[in-house]
């Protein structure tokens, strides 16, 4: 029996992991999520996931820790979580009618070994009318989301195409995480979920 710990306070990651039927605990891996000068988006996402996993493993050395970090990238620039409504308006507005990339770094670390990867998905937004943007912003969902939007919530109708993993855009690439759990022996045929 593995003691699985999700190193994230994200309700979306909790919900997705729960849907797999896995038993786990949540211990937030609080770190400063700041890219280093010149650091590429994918490298930053993976480094942040590693640092979250390491922070939680220091407190939970016997656990299998799953950490993730998701970034939204437009024209090579990382769009983090908006600080306020004006920044959310600018971020979501900049995505209008364009394709951007959502990358999630994942890191699984535990007594049985480690697995890490970055999954990237191309997302295209429709051309967003000013009143649609204001209606979305009024929902207040932008506050804790990279790029200022949640594809699984009120912004769903703003997305015209997704190329790659949908769950990655939500914040956790489930297909890849499950494969890593299988490789680490956490999931197998006939075995009960952790």
Residues 6+ apart with CB under 8 A from 90: 82
Burial class (CB within 10 angstroms; exposed 0-12, middle 13-18, buried 19+) of 188 = exposed
End-to-end CA distance of the chain, in Å?
A: 6
Beta-bridge partners for 12 = none
Torsion of CA 139, 143, 147, 151, to 10 degrees: -50
* Active site (annotated) includes residue 69: yes
Q: Are strands 113-125 and 159-163 parallel, antiparallel or unpaired?
A: antiparallel
What tokens does 34 get?
A: 């700041």
Candidate list 3, 69, 75, 180, residue with the active-site label: 69
Taking the C-alpha atoms of residue 151 and residue 145, their distance in angstroms, rounded to an integer, is 10
Taking the C-alpha atoms of residue 113 and residue 136, their distance in angstroms, rounded to an integer, is 42
Name the DSSP class of 87: H
Taking the C-alpha atoms of residue 83 and residue 61, their distance in angstroms, rounded to an integer, is 34
The catalytic residues are 69
């Amino acid at each position: 029996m593995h003691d699985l710990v999700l190193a994230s306070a994200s309700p979306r990651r909790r919900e997705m992991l729960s849907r797999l039927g896995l038993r786990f605990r949540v211990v937030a891996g609080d770190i400063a999520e700041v890219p280093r000068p010149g650091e590429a988006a994918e490298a930053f996402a993976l480094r942040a996931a590693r640092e979250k996993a390491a922070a939680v493993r220091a407190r939970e050395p016997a656990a299998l820790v799953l950490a993730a970090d998701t970034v939204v990238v437009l024209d090579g620039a990382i769009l983090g979580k908006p600080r306020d409504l004006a920044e959310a308006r600018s971020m979501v507005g900049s995505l209008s009618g364009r394709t951007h990339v959502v990358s999630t770094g994942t890191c699984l670390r535990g007594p049985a070994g480690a697995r890490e990867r970055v999954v990237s998905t191309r997302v295209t937004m429709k051309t967003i009318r000013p009143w649609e943007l204001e209606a979305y912003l009024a929902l207040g969902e932008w506050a804790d989301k990279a790029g200022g939007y949640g594809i699984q919530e009120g912004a769903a109708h703003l997305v015209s195409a997704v190329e790659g993993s949908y769950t990655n855009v939500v914040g956790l690439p489930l297909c890849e995480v499950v494969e890593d759990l299988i490789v680490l022996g956490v999931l197998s045929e006939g075995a009960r979920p952790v």
